[in-house]
Amino acid sequence: MSLTAEPSRIAQPARAILPTRGLGDRISALFWRHPNVLLITLLALPLVWLVVVYLGSLAALLLQSFYSIDEFSGQIRREFTLSTYGELLQPANLDIIIRTVAMSAAVTLGAVVIAFPIAYFAARYAKGHWKALFYLGVMLPLWSSYLVKVYAWKLILAREGIITWATDGIGASAVLNGILALPVIGGNSLSTSYIGTWLVFLYVWLPYMILPMQAALERVPQSMLEASADLGASCWQTLRTVIFPLALPGIIAGSIFTFSLTMGDYIIPQIVGSSRRFIGQAVYQLQGTAGNIPLAAAFAVVPIVIMLIYLTIARRKGAFDAL
């Protein structure tokens, strides 16, 4: 039979049409078989950068804070000591720390009060175009130039600026002078008082409070508000007992930003404010003109420690889910 006569033609299957395998295919196959190799390849470069440049620098900061400065030569003495941290406890330095923390708290409180209506309106009532408008309305100030925003407030708060002009115009200059005459928070003009510093901080960091707050409020179910109303709660009661507790993680998330950013800023109090210093200014001056890098580093560790404590508390309250 022909089957036996030509066995090779039938028994041997036709060769599959496979494309030639290049280097790219081989590497892809390796990644497919060993996903971890792919993972390590992807992460290697960014991780090396972040660990060496960023964590390395943070370690350098810690290391510097344990060095000290030689009082006679002004050189950095590279041996372990706690004396630099001891210097932080001097009354003048302790004042700086307390002043900074108090300002951060005040800014955070102010931001909560002003951000709430905006966030609530955007989360619950804004629809369609209004929603986009509110989003852009918060996002654009957040992203627009920091220095330009601070400069704008320098213009507003200056002695001959728009606020003085407006209060004169409506005959309220007595009120403005009364506020400026207050002890501690008052000053020569708004641009050289704590009120001015507080206002600018509030303005610059406000969007950081609005966004997480809005995200948290958007997750409050409508049905809960209806249930609260059905059970006879007034607007105020609903706000206090239903909305506020549910929005709290978002508020804490926002406060992480406002608190931390205020604590680390040195430009705003330098441009708008009295000559009394904040942590940021102390760090900047010590590392620059004074050349005391160890003490500057020790000062910079203070906000880190405070933020770590703050973050631990925030984590317990579930604020990270709202970020």
Partner 1 sequence: MRSDSRPPLFLTVTAIGGLLFLHLPILLIFLYAFTTDERTYQFPPPGLTTQWFAVAWNREDIWPPLYLSLKVAALSTVMALILGTLCAAAMARTRFFGRDQISLLIILPIALPGIITGMSLRSAFSIMDIPFSTWTILMGHATFCIVIVFNNAVARFRRLSGSIVEASMDLGANGFQTFRHVILPNLGSALLAGGMLAFALSFDEVIVTTFTAGQQSTLPIWMLNELVRPRQRPVTNVVAIVVFVTTFVPILIAYYLTRGGAETAGGGK
Residue number, 186 or 269, with CB nearest to partner 1: 269
Rule CB under 8 A: say whether 99 interacts with partner 1.
no
Assess 136 for contact with partner 1 (CB under 8 A): yes
Closest approach of partner 1 to the CB of residue 8, in Å? 31
User: Does 39 contact partner 1 by CB under 8 A?
Assistant: yes
Is 284 a binding residue for partner 1 by CB under 8 A? The answer is: yes
Q: Does the protein bind partner 1 through residue 152 (CB under 8 A)?
A: yes
Here's the x/- map for partner 1, 192-231, by CB under 8 A: it reads as -----------x--xxx--x----------x--xx-xx--
Choices 2-10, 17-25, 91-99, 245-253 (CB under 8 A): range interacting with partner 1: 17-25
Can you tell me which of 185, 246, 248, 304 binds partner 1, judged by CB under 8 A? 304
Q: Is the Cβ of residue 54 or residue 178 nearer to partner 1 in the bound state?
A: 54
Applying CB under 8 A, among 94, 109, 162, 313 the residue interacting with partner 1 is 162
- Touching partner 1, residues 102-121 (CB under 8 A): 114-115, 117-118, 120-121
How would you label 66-97 residue by residue, b for 16+ Cβ within 10 Å and e otherwise?
bbbbeeeeeeeeeeeeeebbebbeeeebeebb
In angstroms, rounded to a whole number, what is the distance separating the alpha carbons of residues 155 and 153? 5
Nearest residue to 200 via CA among 191, 189, 208: 191
Query: Does 293 contact partner 1 by CB under 8 A?
Result: yes
Q: Considering the complex, what minimum distance in angstroms separates the CB of residue 279 from partner 1?
A: 8
User: What would the x/- binding string for partner 1 be over residues 61 to 80, using CB under 8 A?
Assistant: x-xx-----------x----
Q: Is 27 or 175 the residue whose CB approaches partner 1 more closely?
A: 27
For position 58 contacting partner 1 by CB under 8 A, the verdict is: yes
Least spacing, CB of residue 9 vs partner 1, in Å: 29
Nearest residue (CB) to partner 1, 194 versus 228: 228
The one among 155, 172, 175, 309 contacting partner 1 by CB under 8 A: 155
